[in-house]
Chain A
Amino acid sequence: MTNKVEIPEIDENAKAVRAEGITFHYPDGTAALKGLSFEISQGEKVAIIGPNGSGKSTLLTLFNGVRQGGGKLEILGLPVAKKNLIRIKTLVGLVFQNPDDQLFCPTIFEDVAFGPLNMGWSSEEVKRSVHSALQDVGLEGFEQRSSFHLSFGERKLASIATVLSMQPRIIAMDEPTSNLDLAHRRKIIRWIQNSPRTILLTTHDLDMALETCSRVIILNKGLLVSDGPATEIFRNRELLETNDLELPLRIQPALLNI
């Protein structure tokens, strides 16, 4: 039952992500990413923002090797290539936008155990990691529930647990707060703030990005427009507005006077 494979070593001192001119073309030939270069250190929290269709979500899927494009992409020193894919999938957890795409098993336990079981862990290890993943997102005791009996917010938390159980070093989240009610949005924000992991997220919720991330990357039409500290970029009204973005509400001066 085990499918353990030889595990390539990672360099503990390497950058979490190192991208050099990465590109991606859709099967119909449209270029989604036109050569992006950046580095992300371990433990950094980075928000990738930009209008719809700017390539944010596509970029996230590249980190995990679900999609592969051109250019050079390294995760903790390992190039994203076929021979490293299994290792890279344990290193990078991908949380998709719609939890219904991520939860496909009859029970939450099986969903959260799906990744670890694919990695060939023993059933004791799997149970332990499922338990701690659910505890991490505050869903203890949900093991035997069916995902379609949960609220959207609970499903979102469960979908985070499905990647946490693989104990990834990097978590890539696609719009973690979209469609959430305020209570669950707050839960997710707290969770991101308290997580010791490297987190990359795409979002349109700029206030959430301001609260959780120290660094911001702006993408527009497949190009990297800007990359810098969140405090700087979120104060640069001109830069944001030329990219069809806005100042986060917290920073808008008019609101401070209310």
Chain B
Amino acid sequence: MKHDFLDHHRAGDSPVHKADPRLKVIMMVLYILVVVAIPYSAKHYFMYLTVIPVVLALASGVSFFHFLSKLSKIYPMIFLITFLLPFFPGGNGVGYHWGFLKIYEPGLQKFLMINIKSILAMFMSIVLTTTTDFSMLLKGMEKLKVPRVMIIILSFMYRFIFLLIDETERMLMAFQSRYIRLPVFTRLKMLARQIGVLFIRTYERGERVYQAMDARGFSGEIYTIGELEWKFSDSMVLAVFLIFLCIPFLV
């Protein structure tokens, strides 16, 4: 139960938890498409769109802080990639002086758009994936005709990431138990070797897992028994969601 943290809020009985995983995947994809499609000139709609994930997050009964902490782990990547954008002149936009720095309008717009859009998209995905059991999520994606290969890859990743974490932990522990003091460079060299060993072990494990699959008649196809039930309430939620999403385009 060591890796409970990943699955912490997957089980629950709020309406959000109980909704059909297909519904959640559809909502997620549509939401992301709409968020991505909104141009800078319509930026006031972003506030409006924030309502959806916030309502879902509140309805799920999971503490808001949990979602924010997950978001805070992914968001820095986006910021790192985009934070230089405002400082590059692009097109024929206006520039502002801010101390000794010069900030350019088009770059700033791009920066804001990318950041707001990705925060909203990530927030929506986090709310829905946190509240869905992973195997159900995979099943939902399978029913929605997501390519098999992707589902298999995700399913293996979910299964073996924990083993990999365990193996890394054990290896680091064995290393630390013998480690007294080493120069940074040597330590980095050791780390590089450990990563190499981890790759080889993963490869070998892959071979063994394949043997175990082969021994049970695996022939390249993965068959599953699907038992998802699309309820009337799911249709209702989808309808309300679609109307809500479409309003900005109709007004």
Residues of chain A at the chain B interface (Cβ within 8 Å): 1, 3, 61, 64, 66, 86, 89-90, 93-94, 96, 98, 100-107, 110, 113-115, 117-120, 123, 126-127, 146-149, 162-163, 166
Verify A117–B155 contact, CB threshold 8 A.
Answer: no
Partner of B215, one of A3, A94, A104, A107: A94
Q: Which residues of A contact B138 (CB under 8 A)?
A: 106
A61 and B211 contact, Cβ closer than 8 Å, known pairs A89-B216, A113-B225:
yes
From A89, A101, A149, A166, residue with most partner B Cβ within 10 Å: A101
B210 to chain A, nearest CB (A): 9
B156 at the interface (CB under 8 A from A): yes
Q: Which of A1, A107, A110, A163 contacts B216 (CB 8 A)?
A: A163
State A117–B218 Cα separation when bound (angstroms). 9
B166 to nearest A CB, angstroms?
A: 9
Give the residue name and chain of the A residue nearest to B161 (CB): A148
In Å, the complex CA distance between A103 and B163 comes to 12
Residue on B nearest A151 in the bound complex, by CB: B1
Check B215–A64 contact: CB distance below 8 A. Answer: yes
B216 and A101 within 8 A (CB)? no
Interface SS majority for chain A: helix
The answer to whether B208 touches A98 (Cβ under 8 A) is yes
Q: Is the CB of B205 within 8 A of A101?
A: yes
Please classify the interface of chain B as helix (H, G, I), strand (E, B), loop, or mixed, using the class held by over half of its residues. helix
Contact with A along B46-73 (1 / 0, CB 8 A): 0000000000000000000000000000
Known: A106-B138, A146-B135. 18 other contacts (CB 8 A): A3-B219, A3-B221, A61-B211, A94-B212, A101-B209, A102-B209, A104-B159, A105-B135, A105-B159, A106-B155, A114-B216, A114-B222, A118-B217, A118-B218, A120-B223, A147-B159, A148-B3, A166-B216
B214 (CB) vs chain A CBs: closest residue: A66
B158 interface residue (CB < 8 Å to A): yes
Q: In the bound complex, what is the Cα–Cα distance between A120 and B3 (angstroms)?
A: 34
Q: Contact between B213 and A104 (Cβ–Cβ < 8 Å)?
A: yes
Q: How many A-B residue pairs have CB under 8 A?
A: 90
Q: Does A110 lie within 8 Å of B135, measured CB to CB?
A: yes
In contact, B160 and A127 (Cβ under 8 angstroms): no
> What are the residues of chain B within 8 A of A102 when measuring CB–CB?
209, 212
Q: Cβ of B155 and Cβ of A105 under 8 Å apart? A: yes
B120 to chain A, nearest CB (A): 28
Report the separation of the CA atoms of residues A123 and B160 in the bound assembly, to the nearest whole angstrom: 27
Interface string of B194-235 (1 = CB under 8 A from A): 000000000001001101111111110111110000000000
Q: Which residues of A have CB within 8 Å of B219?
A: 3, 118
Most buried by B among A90, A118, A126, A147: A118
Any chain A CB within 8 A of the CB of B75? Answer: no
Please, could you name 24 A-B residue pairs with CB atoms under 8 Å apart, sorted by A? A64-B215, A66-B215, A86-B217, A89-B214, A89-B216, A89-B217, A94-B216, A96-B208, A96-B211, A101-B205, A104-B209, A104-B212, A105-B155, A106-B159, A113-B225, A114-B213, A114-B222, A115-B216, A117-B223, A123-B225, A148-B159, A148-B162, A163-B215, A166-B217
Instruction: Give B158-201 as 1s and 0s: 1 = Cβ < 8 Å from A's Cβ atoms.
Output: 11101100000000000000000000000000000000000000
Determine how close the nearest CB of chain A comes to the CB of B150; give it in whole angstroms.
15
CB-defined contacts of A166 to chain B, threshold 8 Å: 216-217
- The answer to whether B87 has its CB under 8 Å from any CB of chain A is no
B154 to chain A, nearest CB (A): 9
Docked CA distance A127–B224 (Å): 11
Does B223 contact A100, Cβ atoms closer than 8 Å?
A: no
Residues in A neighbouring B208, C-beta threshold 8 A: 96, 98, 101
A62 to B57, CA, bound (A): 53
- Report the minimal beta-carbon distance from B157 to chain A, rounded to whole angstroms: 10
Asked if B211 and A66 make an inter-chain contact with CB atoms under 8 angstroms apart, the answer reads yes
In the assembly, what is the distance between CA of A94 and CA of B214, in Å?
Answer: 10
Q: Which residues of B contact A119 (CB under 8 A)?
A: 217
B134 sits at the interface (CB 8 A): yes
CA distance A148 to B213 in the complex (A): 18
Please determine whether B215 and A89 come into contact, CB atoms closer than 8 angstroms: yes
Residues in chain B near residue A115, CB distance under 8 A: 216-217
Are A106 and B134 in touch, CB under 8 angstroms? yes
Bound-state CA distance A126–B211 (Å) is 22
Name the contact of A90 in the complex, choosing from B134, B158, B217 (C-beta under 8 A).
B217
